[in-house]
Amino acid sequence: MTSTQVQLKIEGSHATIMFRTETGLNVLTADLLRSLGAIVARIRREGQVRTASVQAEGKVFMAGADIREMTSFTPEQGRAYAEVGQNVFADLAALPCITVAAIQGAAMGGGLELALACDFRLAVKSAKLGMPEVTLGLIPGWGGIQRLSKLMGSTRAKRLFLSGQPLSGEEAFQCGLVDELVNSPEDLAHRVPVFCKSFRRASPAAVALAKRASRDFDELSAFGECFNQKDCREGMSAFLEKRPASWMEGIR
């Protein structure tokens, strides 16, 4: 089976993370996770990136982890594998820029965990989103249980990861798992850049601090730190002077 590849393209202030496989069936192997981790680290170093989309070509967004890779794992190897995925997805979630998962097909298991590590999820109506790990004698291991519970609430999240039953794109939208729904992959390709542009008025430094506060539940520290940022002075001055703000690239 041809392995899935991941590539990064940066155009101006937007970064695109693209997964593709010749067969169209994208699968997250340990090597692919490490490659994704290197890309996430590069995006963090690129101070001009304000938005990033996670996209895929083919029949699925991401089918999940490579089951063949896990069949001979010992408990220690399983824990180490989960740790790799958790670290990469935690780094993705901690990026200071806005992140958007563009789900053009099924996002199952680790694929849904990948999407959950993004700030927002846009999907086509025909997409399937689920965590089928329990049907394989496994559980989600890359932070998906916690992120799903935070997003949907404990009871709804349990229904998803304890049954293994997937949701349709429309069902996922109705319960808040998906933020926007479109009719086709072509519509999705057009909608992603428009969605990303809707955050242009926001200060990059403020976005980074607000994201941090949502993760660690410490708004007091993040609010105080705003006043150590040039964007804070610029934003308030621009408001008082009734002019557009001119933002810096990020936290200073």
pLDDT tens across 106-127, in order? 999 999 999 999 999 999 999 9
**Residue 181 CB contacts under 8 Å (≥ 6 apart), including other chains:** 122, 123, 124, 125, 169, 170, 173
**What is the third-level CATH fold of 5-197?**
2-enoyl-CoA Hydratase; Chain A, domain 1 (3.90.226)
Return d(Cα 71, Cα 119) in angstroms, integer.
32
Evaluate if residue 58 carries a pLDDT over 90: no
Record the pTM: 0.94
Please, which pLDDT band fits residue 251 given cuts at 50, 70 and 90?
Answer: low
First to last CA, the chain: 46
- Specify the range with the lowest mean pLDDT, choosing from 8-12, 58-62, 161-165: 58-62
Which residue is associated with the tokens 């979630």?
Answer: 93
Evaluate if residue 2 carries a pLDDT over 70: no
Evaluate if residue 95 carries a pLDDT over 60: yes
Q: Which helix (H) or strand (E) holds 181?
A: strand 180-182
CA angle 243, 245, 246 (to 5 degrees): 130
Domain with CATH 3.90.226.10 in the chain: 5-197
pLDDT tens across 129-171, in order? 999 999 999 999 999 999 999 999 999 999 999 999 999 999 9
**Catalytically active residues, by annotation:** 113, 133
What is the arithmetic mean of pLDDT over 39-58? 95
**What are the b/e assignments for 16-35, b being 16+ CB within 10 Å?**
bbbbebeeebbbbeeebbeb
Return the structure tokens found at 247: 């933002």
What is the arithmetic mean of pLDDT over 231-237? 96
